[in-house]
Chain A
Amino acid sequence: MSLLKLDGVLKRYEGVTAVDHVSFTVPDGAIFGLLGPNGAGKTSIIRMITTITRPDAGEIYVSGQAVGRETIGKVGYMPEERGLYKKMNVEDHLLYLARLKGLSKADATRALDYWFDRFSIETWRTKKIEELSKGMQQKIQFIATVVHDPDLIILDEPFSGLDPINTNLIKDEIYELAQRGKQIVFSTHRMEQVEEICDYIVLINKGKNVLEGWVKDIKQSFRENLYEVKVDGELDDSVLQAYSLRDRTRGGAYVVQLPETKPGNALLSDLVGAGINVTSFREVLPSLNEIFIRQVGDYNPVLETV
Chain B
Amino acid sequence: MDKILLIIKREYLTRVKKKSFLLATILTPLGIAAFMVVASFIFGYESDEAKRIAVVDQGGVITGGIKDEKNIKFSQYSGTLEEARAEAVDGDFDGVLVIPEQSNLYTKDVQVEYYSEDGLTLDVEGVIRDRVRDYIRDYKAEQLGMDKRSLDALSFNTYVEPEPLIEGGEDTSKITGAIGAGIGTLMGFVMYLVIFIYGMMVMRSVQEEKTTRIVEVMISSVKPFQLMLGKIVGVGLVGMTQVLVWAILIPLIVAGASFFFGIEPPQADASAAGGMNPEEAENMVLLAIQEIQNQNWWAILPLFLIYFLGGYFLYASLFAAVGSAMGEDQGESQALTIPITIPVVLAIYIMFAVVQAPNSTLAMWSSQFPLFSPIVMPARLAFSPPFWEVALSITILIATSIFFIWLSARIYRAGILLYGKKIGFKEMGKWMISG
Is B one of A's binding partners? Answer: yes
Cα(A31)–Cα(B28), bound, Å: 59
Pairwise interchain contact A83-B6, C-beta atoms closer than 8 A: no
Q: B205-236, CB under 8 A of A: which get 1 and which 0?
A: 00001001111111111100000000000000
Cα(A108)–Cα(B217), bound, Å: 17
Indicate if B417 sits at the interface (CB-CB under 8 A).
Answer: yes
Cα(A250)–Cα(B170), bound, Å: 102
Q: B1-27, CB under 8 A of A: which get 1 and which 0?
A: 001001100100010001000000000
Pairwise interchain contact B417-A77, C-beta atoms closer than 8 A: no
Pairwise interchain contact A97-B221, C-beta atoms closer than 8 A: yes
Interface of B: prevailing SS: helix
Assuming the A-B contacts A84-B214, A85-B212, are A96 and B10 also in contact, with contact meaning beta carbons closer than 8 angstroms in the complex? yes
Indicate if B362 sits at the interface (CB-CB under 8 A).
Answer: no
Indicate if A79 sits at the interface (CB-CB under 8 A).
Answer: yes
Q: B406-435, CB under 8 A of A: which get 1 and which 0?
A: 000000000001100000000000000000
Q: For window 170-220 of chain B, which residues contact chain A by CB distance below 8 Å?
A: 209, 212-220
Chain B residues with CB under 8 A of A47 = 417
Interface centre among B14, B209, B215, B220 (most CB of A within 10 A): B220
Q: A141-153, CB under 8 A of B: which get 1 and which 0?
A: 1001000000000
Indicate if A75 sits at the interface (CB-CB under 8 A).
Answer: yes
- A102 to chain B minimum Cβ distance, whole angstroms, is 8
Chain A residues with CB under 8 A of B3 = 100
Cα(A50)–Cα(B10), bound, Å: 23
Pairwise interchain contact A72-B212, C-beta atoms closer than 8 A: no
For chain B, the count of residues having a C-beta within 8 Å of the partner chain is 20
Indicate if A171 sits at the interface (CB-CB under 8 A).
Answer: no
Chain A residues with CB under 8 A of B217 = 77, 79, 83-84, 97, 141, 144
Cα(A97)–Cα(B18), bound, Å: 21
Assuming the A-B contacts A97-B221, A101-B221, are A52 and B216 also in contact, with contact meaning beta carbons closer than 8 angstroms in the complex? yes
Pairwise interchain contact B221-A100, C-beta atoms closer than 8 A: yes
Pairwise interchain contact A83-B221, C-beta atoms closer than 8 A: no
Interface centre among A52, A97, A141 (most CB of B within 10 A): A52
- A153 to chain B minimum Cβ distance, whole angstroms, is 12
Cα(A306)–Cα(B10), bound, Å: 28
Indicate if A51 sits at the interface (CB-CB under 8 A).
Answer: yes
Pairwise interchain contact B418-A306, C-beta atoms closer than 8 A: yes
Cα(A83)–Cα(B419), bound, Å: 14
Pairwise interchain contact A88-B212, C-beta atoms closer than 8 A: no
Indicate if A81 sits at the interface (CB-CB under 8 A).
Answer: yes
Chain B residues with CB under 8 A of A190 = none
Cα(A182)–Cα(B3), bound, Å: 26
Chain B residues with CB under 8 A of A97 = 217, 221
Indicate if A134 sits at the interface (CB-CB under 8 A).
Answer: no
Pairwise interchain contact B219-A52, C-beta atoms closer than 8 A: yes
Select from chain A the residue with minimum beta-carbon distance to B214: A83
Chain B residues with CB under 8 A of A85 = 14, 212, 214
Pairwise interchain contact B221-A72, C-beta atoms closer than 8 A: yes
Q: List 9 A-B contacts (CB under 8 A).
A: A51-B220, A72-B220, A77-B216, A81-B216, A83-B214, A100-B7, A100-B218, A141-B217, A306-B418
Since A47-B417, A81-B216 are in contact, a sample of 5 more A-B pairs with Cβ atoms closer than 8 Å, ordered by chain A residue number, is A51-B220, A52-B216, A52-B219, A83-B214, A100-B218
